[in-house]
Structure 1
Amino acid sequence: MTEIVKKPKSSIWSKIGTFFGILFSGIVMIIGFLIATPFFLLSILFNWIKLSFGFTLFWFIANLIYTSVILDSQKFEPFNGTIVLIIIGLGLLTSIFVTISEMKE
């Protein structure tokens, strides 16, 4: 005849311990996320300001050379609404990439 092997029952204390272990682990993960998020956003903000300033300076010099040397024009207006929007958008996009690459180092 075959013997029937009974599985050992897990006690109620084991189930309660597992529940609180999962709960504690989730709370620690949420708290860690809430602590890290402001630092990540501040890093993006600082990189956004630095990169937008750099793009603005580059655009000013490039447009000055193009307008005065290549086109030989006296009309110099380097910034309009579209260019400012492009510089801000490009600065934001590159600041996100730079911040992520700095985190990997």
Structure 2
Amino acid sequence: MPNTIRGVSNIVQSEYSGVANAIGAFIAQISGQYEQIYIYSREPCEDSLKDPQDKAMKQAILAGALSETIQLVEVEETALAYHPENATRLKVEVVGKMK
């Protein structure tokens, strides 16, 4: 950051501002995502949701998340109107703490 900016009377810069982004990276959680098309007429919604959630958890663990800390944070369900068998695209995201 420059020492002066036109129109700004006072700039305050922390002594440790150069490493502030590292703190955010350190406290961030590890995520895993998975998406696939499921056909609810063949398999109920509840059963269909378990599959992408398990696969997203595996992705998070491979990325370095502790398995016991992983939580489901997002499920996006999009019905595919043009499909004759009640197909739905499920997208799942989980997060967990870093090992």
Which is greater in Rg? Answer: 1
Q: Which has the higher strand share?
A: 2
Q: Which has the higher helix share?
A: 1
| TM-score normalized by the length of structure 2 | 0.32
